[in-house]
Amino acid sequence: MASTEREKAGHRLGIHRVLEGGSVLPQSATRLDNALPIYSNEVLISVKRLNIDAASFVQMESDFGGDPKAISDQIAKNCQQQGKQQNPVTGSGGMLLGEVVQVGSTYNGVFGARVGQHVATLVSLTCTPLRLDRILSIDLKTHQVDVEGYAILFESGIAAEMPKDLPETVSLAVLDVAGAPAWCRALAEPNQTVVVFGAGGKAGLLCCVAARDQVGKNGKVIGIEPNASAAERLQSLNVCDAVLEVDAGDNLSVLSRLEAATHGKMGDVVINVVSAPNTEISSILAARPDGKVVFFGMATGFSKAALGAESVGSSVQMIIGNGYYPGHADYALNLLRKHSNLKKLFCERYQA
């Protein structure tokens, strides 16, 4: 892998790597320059593993009938054609794990990268120049892909050094969704009711635990999870007052079950981390008129949410979930350290 660098520095936001798509940032570009050598203010990462975001992986799994080879080929095609991993259907990407192998001589980024660090990027693959040389294996259960290749981190890019006290694959799974529990902690208050859609997935589990820590024993945490085995795993954490096995896309069933569970009061904060589409109205109906709904799922439709709220006369505050929150990586990892049963669940599912 090249150790030289270009004489000039690139733009801190990475716009010098945009090849196609107009005057846009890397995330919106249709193609990025993933060529070496790096610019003098970039970081080069030898990539070991990709963590594909749930919405993207579910879409590919559905379209390709769960065929690992076809999914791998699509990921390789994305990187070859776009210079990054961005699902052309969902528009989403994921994040990566690797080792810092070169730091540009003028790099002064927010992360403070050092050669030899084992890191997980906390910026989406949709804005990360990425070249894949080989795809070694793909895990349909965890959505993680072992690869050989390299990626480029801009000065504006953030990453987290991998902890030594947790399994690598487990840490990667947690860091992939670290923004959701951090935002849940920021929005939930003592004695409130928090409703989590997609509560049995990795983001949902973290959010339910974070919510319980915030609302306390006099608050309520209600999980929405249609999958029976996932609902059972969630129940084992003993953080939810109720786990409702109902399809988040079934608006009327969700409304009825939540009205019963909350005695008609509904949720103060609703967190949607569902990877499937058509859950916007259910999330809006789940909230009090003065409540908050946070949409994290990449399958969320803005028009469905906005027009849906109008259609039911709801003035609920709707928030687009941001994958970044100050201190989110440490907070999410510390949830596993603090809650041994949560750590056990993640290790059972994600430990290689």
Give the start-to-end residue ranges of the domains of the chain. Answer: 15-162, 179-350
Query: Does residue 1 surpass a pLDDT of 70?
Result: no
Q: In angstroms, how far apart are the furthest CA atoms of the chain?
A: 66
Query: Does residue 297 surpass a pLDDT of 90?
Result: no
pTM for the model stands at 0.91
Span 167-179, mean pLDDT?
Answer: 95
Would you state the pLDDT for residue 92?
Answer: 94
* Percent of the chain at pLDDT exceeding 70: 99
Span 167-175, mean pLDDT?
Answer: 95
CA 50/CA 148 separation, integer angstroms? 10
Span 277-297, mean pLDDT?
Answer: 96
What is the secondary structure of 144-208 as a DSSP string?
A: EEEEEEEEEE-TT--EEEPPSSS-HHHHHHHHHTTHHHHHHHHH--TT-EEEEETTTSHHHHHHH
- Confidence category of residue 110, pLDDT binned at 50, 70, 90: confident
Would you state the pLDDT for residue 294?
Answer: 98
- 249-263 pLDDT tens trace: 999 999 999 999 999
pLDDT-wise least confident of 145-149, 286-290, 322-326: 322-326
Span 325-334, mean pLDDT?
Answer: 97
Would you state the pLDDT for residue 298?
Answer: 83
DSSP state of 111: S
Domain 179-350 is of which CATH architecture?
3-Layer(aba) Sandwich (3.40)
- Confidence category of residue 68, pLDDT binned at 50, 70, 90: very high
Spatial contact of 296 and 272, defined as CB atoms under 8 Å apart: yes
Residue 163 vs residues 120, 142, 168, 285: alpha-carbon distances, Å:
10, 19, 8, 40
Query: Does residue 299 surpass a pLDDT of 90?
Result: no
- 181-224 pLDDT tens trace: 999 999 999 999 999 999 999 999 999 999 999 999 999 999 99
* HSE-CB for 95 with a 13 A CA cutoff: 23
Mean per-residue pLDDT of the chain: 96
Query: Does residue 339 surpass a pLDDT of 70?
Result: yes
Query: Does residue 3 surpass a pLDDT of 80?
Result: no
